[in-house]
Amino acid sequence: MEPGLIWVLAGLLLLLAELALPGIFLLWIGIAAIGTGLLLLLSTPSFEMASMVFLALLGGGIWLALRLRRPAPASRLNTPGSGLVGRSGLLLPLGEAAGPGLRVRIGDSEWQARLPRDIKVPDVALKVRVEGVDGTTLIVRPE
């Protein structure tokens, strides 16, 4: 069997393996093998030259894949700010809160809270709006 045909068949088998085992790495090896096989079918380079062409095609394919890759969006799942900013809640008085410090109740959850420096801590429950998040502490302002 001709070496160029072996390279093309090996590349096609690698592309089929990529379908069975998705991970996108076998894709670039398969494409490089097919390209090397086509070069061998069109001309008769030495083994060293065919190996260099294979490595160049493989490197070029991986480089292209890395250039075209989109960064994954930052996940905001299960973070305090993932839906609390802008919501209204009830700032609990210091004696009524389940934990130390200021607490705000939003829905069925209680969060640590912090008021801006220019606002005095109230003695009664107060309706507030979440303006930001600092770690797991909500920054709130009276409505």
Q: What is the pLDDT of residue 40?
A: 93
What number does CATH give the domain 88-142? 2.40.50
Cβ within 8 Å of residue 71, ≥6 positions away: none
Q: From 91, 88, 93, select the one nearest 124 (Cα to Cα).
A: 93
Q: What is the pLDDT of residue 82?
A: 66
pTM reported for the whole predicted model: 0.52
Q: What is the pLDDT of residue 85?
A: 85
Domain limits, the chain: 3-68, 88-142
Per-residue pLDDT of the chain (143 residues; tens, 9 = 90+): 899 999 999 999 999 999 998 788 899 999 999 999 999 999 988 999 999 999 999 999 999 988 988 887 766 656 656 678 888 999 887 766 555 678 888 888 888 888 887 777 776 778 999 988 888 888 888 88
Tell the burial category of 10 from Cβ atoms under 10 Å away from its Cβ (0-12, 13-18, 19+): middle
